[in-house]
Amino acid sequence: MKFIEELVVEEFLPTIRSLLAEALRDRGLTQREVADALGISQSAVSKYAHSEVAHNETIAADDRVVELVERVADGLASGDMSRVQALVDIEVMIRRLEDGDLLADLHEDAMPELAEADIDFSVHDPDSRIRQTEQVRSSVRRGLRTLTSMSGFATLIPNVGSNLVECMPEAETVDDVAGVPGRIFDIKGRATVPAEPEFGVSEHAASVLLATRDHGVDVRAGLNIAYDEDLIADFEAAGYSTVEFDSEASEELAATIGDAVVDADLTETFVLYQTGGFGIEAISYVLGPDAPTVAGVVRDVV
């Protein structure tokens, strides 16, 4: 009797680790950094590098495995992907390959009785919430890197600070929206991100995003920046919709934004803005399909 989990341990894991170790080394990581990224010892990395650990050629040659290795290696090397997301993505691949696919075929080869029994191995949900949350965090990280690397972004940060947020596909509350804890601030002319993206940490930018979504506008991400009349004109000149909403009715944000966007002809990425009032800072909100797109639009327009 042989369990499919044995094939995972004996065939898949040595193969994926070997491929990842090689891919990370190709991206310039040291042996120590590869060991830390994969959660293995340096001696294990050395063995993988010198082909002292056998791997399964059928698994290594599978296009989906090759694509996974490249994507995970890129994410780990750049910092866009956390170890948790890497683990989840690899786990999802394992479950997919177990479900009447490559690993199931290898399992049947190792135990022919399974083919005769016509057993179906459905295990994990590829669209699990933890995978989605890690993907959203990764997306926010990519957007933040665009913002912090662009020249002049610090000058766009309002007095209350900026935040780049992205929500889950079916977001309903601020707990479904990831952003920067403590917001992004201008410290001596430099945009400073104090911590890794987390869910439920942005009341302000998240509320504007959710209020816009509540009125049927298909957006997943947003960024608040300082209001400037010339900047709004620049967005319009670049072909993006701009919509003003009433700053005096902040206690009725959802209704106010709804009134503004209901009849607006919105582009995929667009700008909401309010020009301020007594005790209310004038602010603009760039909204779009995901955090990297929103950040990229700001970079290109400014």
127-173 tens-digit pLDDT: 567 778 989 999 999 999 999 999 999 999 999 999 999 999 999 99
Task: Look at residue 247 and give its three-state secondary structure.
Answer: helix
Write down how long the chain is: 302
Q: Beta partners for 185?
A: 192
Neighbours of 194 (CB within 10 A): 12
Q: How sure is the predictor about 124, in pLDDT bands with cuts at 50, 70 and 90?
A: very low
pLDDT at residue 98, as a whole number: 82
Query: Which position has the higher pLDDT, 96 or 288?
Result: 288
Across the chain, mean pLDDT equals: 89
Q: Where are the domains of the chain?
A: 4-114, 129-301
Token code pair at residue 183: 């917001």
pLDDT at residue 121, as a whole number: 47
Q: Contact at 8 Å (CB) between 80 and 69?
A: no
Residue 177's closest CA among 141, 202, 194?
202
Q: Contact at 8 Å (CB) between 287 and 212?
A: yes
Neighbours of 100 (CB within 10 A): 13
What is the spatial distance between Cα 17 and Cα 178, in angstroms, rounded to a whole number? 30
167-197 tens-digit pLDDT: 999 999 999 999 999 999 999 899 999 999 9
| Assigned fold of 129-301 | L-fuculose-1-phosphate Aldolase (3.40.225)
5-46 tens-digit pLDDT: 888 888 999 999 999 999 999 999 999 999 999 999 999 988
CA distances from 190 to 58, 97, 193 (A): 49, 46, 10
CB-based contacts of 199: which residues, under 8 Å, 6+ apart?
Answer: 133, 136, 175, 176, 177, 178
